[in-house]
Amino acid sequence: MDEVLPDNFACWHYSLVQTAERRWDFHYVSEHSAPPALAERIAQMLGEGVRVNAFRRKFITPAASGKFALLKPLAR
């Protein structure tokens, strides 16, 4: 993810959540909206045929342990 996020995009927290075999949701906390091409860049990183939707949030709830899950793959 560090290679995909632009240097000029201040993203305080993020979570990449798999919602289907080839679909992911990128939830992020930032003062500004993500650059338009960011979802496409993340999709390219994840593989061919993958689609990513980006959602700007006011906050991302951590797990009960207090830690943030940066990646949540689809439960199998």
- Does 21 reside within a domain? yes
Q: How many domains does the chain have?
A: 1
- Does 6 reside within a domain? no
> Which pLDDT tens digit goes with each residue over 21-73?
999 999 999 999 999 899 999 999 999 999 999 999 999 988 889 888 888 99
- Does 24 reside within a domain? yes
pTM: 0.89
- Does 30 reside within a domain? yes
- Does 46 reside within a domain? yes
- Does 55 reside within a domain? yes
Question: Range of 18's domain?
Answer: 11-61
pLDDT at 21: 94
pLDDT at 53: 97
CB 60 within 8 A of CB 42: no
CB 34 within 8 A of CB 50: no
